[in-house]
Amino acid sequence: MRIAVPNKGRLHDPTIEVLERAGLHIENTADRQLYADTVDPDVTVLFARAADIPEYVADGAADIGITGLDQARESGHDLVDLLDLGFGRCRLVLAAPEDGDITDPEDVAGRTVATEFPRITRDYFEEKGIDAEVVEVTGATELTPHVDMADAIVDITSTGTTLQVNRLAIVDEVLASSVRLFARPDVADDAKVQQIVTAFESVIAAEGKRYLMMNAPRERLPDVKEVLPGMGGPTVMDVADGETDHVAVHAVVDERQVFETISELKRVGASDILVTEIERLVE
């Protein structure tokens, strides 16, 4: 099983982190390497440009790939979107000079739009029934309206700051993108692919969760259960030293609720409260 992952850029480190947390530790990594083994003898990682990963998967060089939805859509290949990995979020937007007369997508009719994503842009205008000339550029897209190369642009933005700096206003959202796990249709249901999907899902499910362990008076157990906002209720066990008046309580809670939850647990008599991070959570 070969997984194609971004070899550099803003998507590389988060992708490697997900692989590591999923248990697919990459062995013998080095700069500029093209592939690497993992602790799983059946899984190899290929390093490629994010934009090339859909091609790797479609051509069979890799079985699955991790890259942005924008890159997959722009490639035009028929890939199965297996899982949203939840990072690398950005938007592909239609933008125009903030002091211009383009304030609605229909205002682009008969005009020129510059973009690094011509396929997505043409599909967007076709869906809206707008006849616009799409010009492909390979960089400095924000500059094109200011040097009379285009009337508007379609470009990637995360915060909108770059557009504002270049005096461009967002007219419409073309595509909301994030990093996804993709596969070819013929391998999407393969047992090994599904095993990897489950591993990644467990990493995503653990995001923002904490594991709470504590002792509590048996008579106060109803109050403790009332406090804990756990997944399906807490796990309750007898204390190992044989104390009959106390029980051990374990629960998974949202990280944002930990501070308040601990205060409430102490109020209802819980003690020896331990909070730990969760690497993976298989639901």
CA-to-CA distance for 3 and 38, rounded, in angstroms? 10
Task: Work out the number of other CB atoms within 10 angstroms of the CB of residue 147.
Answer: 8
CA-to-CA distance for 159 and 162, rounded, in angstroms? 8
Task: Work out the number of other CB atoms within 10 angstroms of the CB of residue 101.
Answer: 9
Q: What confidence category does residue 229 fall into, taking pLDDT thresholds of 50, 70 and 90?
A: low
Residue 50: per-residue pLDDT: 95
Give yes or no for residue 231 having a pLDDT over 70.
no
Q: What confidence category does residue 244 fall into, taking pLDDT thresholds of 50, 70 and 90?
A: confident
Length of the chain, please? 283
- The dihedral built from the CA positions of residue 152, 9, 5 and 157, taken in this order, carries a sign that is negative
Residue 18: per-residue pLDDT: 94
Residue 242: per-residue pLDDT: 62
Q: What confidence category does residue 241 fall into, taking pLDDT thresholds of 50, 70 and 90?
A: low
Residue 243: per-residue pLDDT: 61
Mean pLDDT (the chain, rounded): 92
Task: Work out the number of other CB atoms within 10 angstroms of the CB of residue 278.
Answer: 16
48-59: per-residue pLDDT in tens? 999 999 999 999
157-168: per-residue pLDDT in tens? 988 888 999 999
Q: Which two tokens stand for residue 126?
A: 């076709």
188-214: per-residue pLDDT in tens? 999 999 999 999 999 999 998 999 999
114-154: per-residue pLDDT in tens? 999 999 999 999 999 999 999 999 988 999 999 999 999 99
CA-to-CA distance for 110 and 106, rounded, in angstroms? 9
pTM, entire model: 0.84
- What share of the chain in percent tops pLDDT 70? 95
Exposure letters 29-39 (e unless 16+ CB within 10 A, then b): eeeeeeeeebe
Residue 232: per-residue pLDDT: 67
User: What is the mean predicted confidence (pLDDT) over 54-67?
Assistant: 96
Residue 33: per-residue pLDDT: 75
6: helix, coil or strand? strand
Domains, the chain, ranges and CATH? 2-87+178-205 (3.40.190.10), 90-177 (3.40.190.10), 208-277 (3.30.70.120)
CA-to-CA distance for 223 and 228, rounded, in angstroms? 9
Cβ(151)–Cβ(111) below 8 Å: yes
CA-to-CA distance for 273 and 250, rounded, in angstroms? 10
Cβ(38)–Cβ(26) below 8 Å: yes
Which amino acid is residue 196, in one-letter code? Answer: I
